[in-house]
Structure 1
Amino acid sequence: MIEVVEFEQQRRRLFGIAYRMLGEASEAEDVVQDAYLRWRSRPAAVGTPAAWLTTVVTNLCINRLTSARARRERYVGPWLPEPVATGNDPAELMERRDTVSLGFLVLLEKLTPPERAVFVLREAFDYTHRESAEVLGVDEANARQLYHRALARLGEARRRFDVRPADGTKLVERFIAATVEGDVAGLEAILTEDAAIWADGGGKAIAAREPIFGRSNAAHYLAGLASSPRAPAAHLSVADINNATAILVHESGDLTAVLIPEIHDGSITTIRAILNPDKLTYLRTQLQPLA
């Protein structure tokens, strides 16, 4: 029983690490469960359970990322991370909430698995280079090199996700109103000139298989959704998803899409839409108690 309690005390933090590493909530849950089984069957007592479990989870994620890369290269259309609710429980994903933004997780796809591990541990969980080195089983100099290589790969783009816009909710409400009304001019007024739409249907839901670039193209595409045969049955609401004000689309009571706008300087720069039903499973379970 004590062993179970010790593990449960670490579960949220472990999920937070695994989700940031993998960008997939369902896979992160599997990793945490695998870590639990290893915890129960370990041959000897562990002096520091948190460190031991972090090492297990991180290395399980590194192994999974290697095979995930191949799957994502064969993915139908753009691949986006699985969305998770972040507004119900401030401790849900632990530590720096900006590091679970969809844009940030997409950015992490540029990194190799070891680079991603070191970057996540340091940026989201304040691990030192020495602590990261112990988790990965490398020397401190190597861990430091991995971190700086990650910084170089990500460049200035990572700074975009440091602050959550205070006007996010009002802007998203304007976006919803303009989309529902098919108001092209209204949409163009809140989109940046280089706005982009990325839709993840995974071949299992109707979605644009190529990104849509440019203010005019994006506005006309969004306005066109209002005339879709499915539009009258769709119910739109807002929720805190991946540390952003997002739009939930329900049809006949079922969650069918999540749209997460990325906002900078009072305008929407990117809209990421997750429609693949498999990627909405975890979020459905999170939202179920609220239904």
Structure 2
Amino acid sequence: MNERGEPTAATGGAPAGGGRVDAATEAFVTHRNLLFTVAYEMLGSVADAEDVLQETWLGWMKVEVEQVLDPRAYLVRIATRRALDRLRSVKRRREEYVGPWLPEPLLTTPDVAENAELAESVSMALMLVLETLSPTERAVFVLREVFDVGYEEIAAAVGKSPAAVRQIAHRARRHVDARRPREVVPPGVARAALESFQRAFETGDLQGLLDVLAPEVVLISDGGGIKQAAPRPIVGAGKVARFIVGGIGKAQVTLSGEPTVVNGNPALVLRVNGEVDGVVAVRIEDARITGLYYVRNPRKLTGLASEVPLALR
């Protein structure tokens, strides 16, 4: 709650008032998880998504709710517009980011992992692909391909004609399909690959790493200028394996992994000498790791404090 008794982005609660929940608040609370998911998939940042939720609430409070035929569609429209404005702003900031930029990882609830469509849509691998789209392309792709929003409604949200939205959707889909993982990997396969990776780096087993890493594997590490990280992506199984084993040996630390579920997919919380150092998410194809995404920036680890519910509908 804020000082005005409104539901905040963090709580999504109802305003005080003798326990009465009015229609506007009830609609917002009902669709809160969906709105957060839309904002997060567009922005890749928990803080920015929560800000969008707060702005959506404030905008919703100015609407004559009784005149709204479809509260869900109207709320998604408000959230999309707010997220699109913010995305255009953060795009400029990310150009000045120190080192590679990775989306902020989320500790997600078990139902997210059980929903293959949702888990794939928020996976670190796909979120990185979405970063290569323009803000409008990303909004259109997310609304159409992930949330199955109609072209007319998307047009109203992004300020384009339905015909233009169809063209943008086609272009964005083709762009994403050329870069997204070729297959949706079952959680068991992902866990097995992560377990092999964990055993190898904990024991300094160079060959073990080479066995689980695909020849074309890419390692991206995000320290945000706060924690040390590779200044650019490292490509190739040999280079990645040597970087990991050599880095651990040079630092003379004990590195351990703790299995978790991040963004609906198996991941590892890495600890250095027992202290949380970061999160590793992976991209897996043909049972081998093709992408390693290591988030070390401490400002991006706040989403691990508690499980975050997400929703597609």
TM-score normalised over the length of structure 2 = 0.84
Contact persistence 1:179–1:225 (CA under 8 A): no
What corresponds to 2:291 in structure 1?
A: 270
Change in CA separation of 1:134 and 1:22 when aligned onto 2, cut-off 3 Å: same
Equivalent residue runs for 1:6-21 within 5 Å: 6-21=27-42
Once the 2 structures are TM-superposed, how far is the Cα of residue 229 of structure 1 from its aligned partner?
Answer: 4.4
Once the 2 structures are TM-superposed, how far is the Cα of residue 44 of structure 1 from its aligned partner?
Answer: 5.7
Equivalent residue runs for 1:103-182 within 5 Å: 103-160=125-182, 162-164=184-186, 166-182=188-204
Choose from 47, 56, 71 the match for 2:69: 47
Once the 2 structures are TM-superposed, how far is the Cα of residue 139 of structure 1 from its aligned partner?
Answer: 2.3
Once the 2 structures are TM-superposed, how far is the Cα of residue 68 of structure 1 from its aligned partner?
Answer: 1.0
Contact persistence 1:13–1:93 (CA under 8 A): no
Percent identity among equivalent residues?
Answer: 36
Once the 2 structures are TM-superposed, how far is the Cα of residue 85 of structure 1 from its aligned partner?
Answer: 1.8
What corresponds to 2:80 in structure 1?
A: 58
Once the 2 structures are TM-superposed, how far is the Cα of residue 254 of structure 1 from its aligned partner?
Answer: 5.1
1:26 aligns with 2:44: no
Q: Which moved more, 1:7-16 or 1:80-89?
A: 80-89
Equivalences, count: 286
Once the 2 structures are TM-superposed, how far is the Cα of residue 50 of structure 1 from its aligned partner?
Answer: 0.9
What corresponds to 2:4 in structure 1?
A: none
* Gap runs ≥5 in structure 1: none
* 1:116 maps to amino acid: R
Matched residues in 2 for 1:175 and 1:159: separation?
Answer: 19
Contact persistence 1:193–1:215 (CA under 8 A): yes
Equivalent residue runs for 1:190-269 within 5 Å: 190-227=212-249, 229=251, 231-232=253-254, 234-250=255-271, 255-269=276-290
Change in CA separation of 1:160 and 1:85 when aligned onto 2, cut-off 3 Å: farther
Matched residues in 2 for 1:4 and 1:251: separation?
Answer: 44
Change in CA separation of 1:179 and 1:60 when aligned onto 2, cut-off 3 Å: same
Contact persistence 1:164–1:244 (CA under 8 A): no
Once the 2 structures are TM-superposed, how far is the Cα of residue 183 of structure 1 from its aligned partner?
Answer: 0.8
Once the 2 structures are TM-superposed, how far is the Cα of residue 51 of structure 1 from its aligned partner?
Answer: 1.2
Matched residues in 1 for 2:159 and 2:274: separation?
Answer: 48
Once the 2 structures are TM-superposed, how far is the Cα of residue 154 of structure 1 from its aligned partner?
Answer: 2.7
Contact persistence 1:25–1:82 (CA under 8 A): yes
What corresponds to 1:281 in structure 2?
A: 302
Change in CA separation of 1:238 and 1:167 when aligned onto 2, cut-off 3 Å: same
Q: Secondary structure at the match of 1:273?
A: strand
Q: Which moved more, 1:131-140 or 1:116-125?
A: 131-140
Contact persistence 1:103–1:161 (CA under 8 A): no
* 1:195 maps to amino acid: V
Matched residues in 2 for 1:155 and 1:136: separation?
Answer: 22
Matched residues in 1 for 2:227 and 2:294: separation?
Answer: 11
What corresponds to 2:95 in structure 1?
A: 73
Change in CA separation of 1:91 and 1:4 when aligned onto 2, cut-off 3 Å: farther
CA RMSD of aligned residues (A): 2.3
Contact persistence 1:86–1:92 (CA under 8 A): no
Once the 2 structures are TM-superposed, how far is the Cα of residue 142 of structure 1 from its aligned partner?
Answer: 1.2
Once the 2 structures are TM-superposed, how far is the Cα of residue 155 of structure 1 from its aligned partner?
Answer: 4.2
